Amino acid sequence: MNPFLEISPSVKAALSNGQPVVALESTIISHGMPYPQNLETALQVEQAVRENGAVPATIAIIGGKLKAGLAEAEIEFLGKTGLAVTKASRRDIPFLLNNGKPGATTVAATMIIAEMTGIRIFATGGIGGVHRGASETMDISADLQELARTSVAVVCAGAKSILDIGLTLEYLETHGVPVIGYQTNDFPAFYTRKSGYAVDYCLNSPSEIAKVLNAKWLAGLKGGALIANPIPEVHEPEVVSVQAATEVAIAEAGRMGIRGNEITPYLLGKIKELTGGESLRANIELVLNNARLAARLAVEMAK
């Protein structure tokens, strides 16, 4: 048993009874959305997982422990403390285990802790990817390497156009990560249902996705899979305003010399400001939509 892993009672009970569990990340809470919407959304997402038949396991690092399943007070702490919580990816984990400071786990770190816990399905908003201009900056999210090595399926709404979506998909292909479109042939771009880039495979139901994931892992193929679930049409924001805001935000980040792991939260905040909150509303809806699909998929996997 991993001495750092602390599984909540409800998650532990579900796993030992073979019931479906869905992992949820916490960078989106502390760094991805402002308070109080971050807290409200985190609780609504857990509820959406429950309503669709699975047990939620929000993941974070607290008090020197890798926590799978948080109490409401812990989620509230992550939401209120916001940017003062360390954004924790794979490289940060050992430091937080030693210094006891809180960490909000990225997709990469959440996948690691989910796998340790025995959780195979994980819902988030958008994944990190290859940033635009990466041929110069080499800024490629650790999320992509994690998808290559860690056996957890991540349900997301695609990747934001703050990234180079074409290069992100190339990178995933190189590393053998299957990209599955849920009822779509077009890889979604987070706020928008289409990016113009094709997914590898389109599957139309949670049971078909579950069969493919089971085949992959039963055959001994390690590593993750990406399930791309487009934002519902009714919640898609006006495309032009989001695209314009994205371009302005990227230019501003460049001028201000923002680098490393601060870029993604900076761009998210700036786009929200420039779209008058429209991007935040869309963000909340797409995360809920992903939580519902992930729960239905976890139910199929548990059969």
Residues lying near ligand PSU in the complex (CB under 6 A): 25, 27-28, 32, 106-107, 125-126, 128, 141-143, 160, 190, 261, 264, 268
Which segment (25-33, 76-84, 131-139, 161-169) binds Mn ion by CB under 5 A? 131-139
Torsion region of 104: left, alpha or beta (phi above 0 gives left; psi -120 to 50 gives alpha): beta
Query: What distance in Å separates the CA atoms of residue 168 and residue 218, rounded to the nearest whole number?
Result: 27
**Residue 31: phi, psi to the nearest 5?**
-120, -15
Q: Which is nearer to Mn ion, 139 or 300 (CB)?
A: 139
* 59: enclosing H helix or E strand: strand 55-62
Q: Which is nearer to ligand PSU, 46 or 143 (CB)?
A: 143
**Crossing angle (nearest 10°) for helices 278-302 and 37-51:** 30
Q: Which of 160, 236, 270, 285 is catalytic?
A: 160
Residue 25 designated active-site: yes
Which segment (137-145, 187-195, 225-233, 246-254) binds Mn ion by CB under 5 A? 137-145
**Residue 109: phi, psi to the nearest 5?**
-65, -35
Which segment (67-75, 135-143, 144-152, 232-240) binds Mn ion by CB under 5 A? 135-143
Distance in Å, CB of 59 to Mn ion, minimum: 20
Q: Is 92 in the site for Mn ion (CB under 5 A)?
A: no
> Can you count the helices (H) and strands (E) in the chain?
13, 11
Distance in Å, CB of 56 to ligand PSU, minimum: 17
Contact status, residue 189 vs residue 229, Cβ threshold 8 Å: no
Q: Which does 26 bind (CB under 5 to 8 A by kind): ligand PSU, Mn ion, none?
A: none
Q: What Rg, from alpha-carbon coordinates, does the chain have?
A: 18
The beta-strand segments (E) located in 157-301 are: 179-182, 201-203, 225-228
Closest CA to 31 of 106, 124, 111, 131: 106
Distance in Å, CB of 240 to ligand PSU, minimum: 19
Q: Is 139 in the site for Mn ion (CB under 5 A)?
A: yes
Q: Which does 160 bind (CB under 5 to 8 A by kind): ligand PSU, Mn ion, none?
A: ligand PSU
Q: Which does 186 bind (CB under 5 to 8 A by kind): Mn ion, ligand PSU, none?
A: none
Residue, CB closest to Mn ion:
139
Q: Is 146 in the site for Mn ion (CB under 5 A)?
A: no
Q: Which is nearer to ligand PSU, 149 or 211 (CB)?
A: 149
Q: Which is nearer to ligand PSU, 220 or 257 (CB)?
A: 257
Secondary structure class of 96 (helix, strand, coil) = helix
Query: What distance in Å separates the CA atoms of residue 116 and residue 119, rounded to the nearest whole number?
Result: 8
- In the chain the first and final C-alpha atoms are separated, in Å, by 26
Query: What distance in Å separates the CA atoms of residue 129 and residue 138, rounded to the nearest whole number?
Result: 11
Residue 160 designated active-site: yes
**Cis peptide preceding 36, ω within 30 of 0:** yes
Distance in Å, CB of 96 to Mn ion, minimum: 18
Q: Which is nearer to ligand PSU, 79 or 128 (CB)?
A: 128
Q: Which is nearer to ligand PSU, 102 or 128 (CB)?
A: 128
AA identity, residue 244: A
Q: Which of 12, 25, 115, 300 is catalytic?
A: 25
Joined tokens for residue 282: 């869309």
Distance in Å, CB of 112 to ligand PSU, minimum: 12
Distance in Å, CB of 160 to ligand PSU, minimum: 5
Catalytic residue positions, numbered = 25, 160
